[in-house]
Chain A
Amino acid sequence: SQQGEEDPQALSIQEGENATMNCSYKTSINNLQWYRQNSGRGLVHLILIRSNEREKHSGRLRVTLDTSKKSSSLLITASRAADTASYFCATFYSKLTFGKGITLSVRP
């Protein structure tokens, strides 16, 4: 069964705006990861946050993790048209399990 559940399922924003995506999960995790997928091709790892971490930054990405609420959020600041893709959260506990994904469209 799928661990992560992203919210919203689709997001459309203007270039330059920030995009916030949320993920909820159901059971214990060792870490939570976010991946990006362009046009049904391979996934690209964006960021990993361990269960004992609360916030992490990487470039224009900021991810938070609240293990008490079993939720995570991914913030992409100053979005670009090239950020248009599907984004998946994935929880790791013995194996990686992906959520349903969020489709992000960034309008130029």
Chain B
Amino acid sequence: DTEVTQTPKHLVMGMTNKKSLKCEQHMGHRAMYWYKQKAKKPPELMFVYSYEKLSINESVPSRFSPECPNSSLLNLHLHALQPEDSALYLCASSQTLLQGTAEQYFGPGTRLTVT
């Protein structure tokens, strides 16, 4: 199984809502990532987890809160978002963070719209 799954596919939320994005992989990968991608732009790294511990936080606002409950699951909790946070949120995984084996597998993404 070389698939990364993400739910939901689409999400519309108001600025006062709390919602969560979910990501799952069963490839035994120990590194997992959240990226944000705006239309016609490249993905931008938000968070990196390595062995279930937060390894990199790219100065993301606290209204985004990541969580890695176990080695297969990655969540992104959303609260008090702004309309400019509307984007495609991509989850990815890789075997480890080792520099020579950094091939990443991406999920299909969650299209988030903040109203």
B-binding residues in A (CB < 8 A): 2, 30-31, 33, 35, 40-45, 48, 50, 88, 92-101
Report the minimal beta-carbon distance from A103 to chain B, rounded to whole angstroms: 9
B66 part of interface (Cβ distance < 8 Å): no
Residue in B closest to A30 when the chains form the complex, CB atoms: B99
Are B42 and A88 in touch, CB under 8 angstroms? yes
Max chain A C-beta neighbours (<10 A), residue from B41, B44, B48, B102: B102
12 more A-B residue pairs beyond the given contacts A40-B111, A45-B104, with a C-beta to C-beta distance below 8 A? A30-B100, A40-B88, A42-B90, A42-B106, A44-B106, A88-B43, A92-B99, A94-B99, A95-B45, A95-B48, A98-B43, A98-B44
Given the known interface contacts A2-B42, A95-B45, A97-B45, the answer about A45 and B103 at a Cβ–Cβ threshold of 8 Å is yes
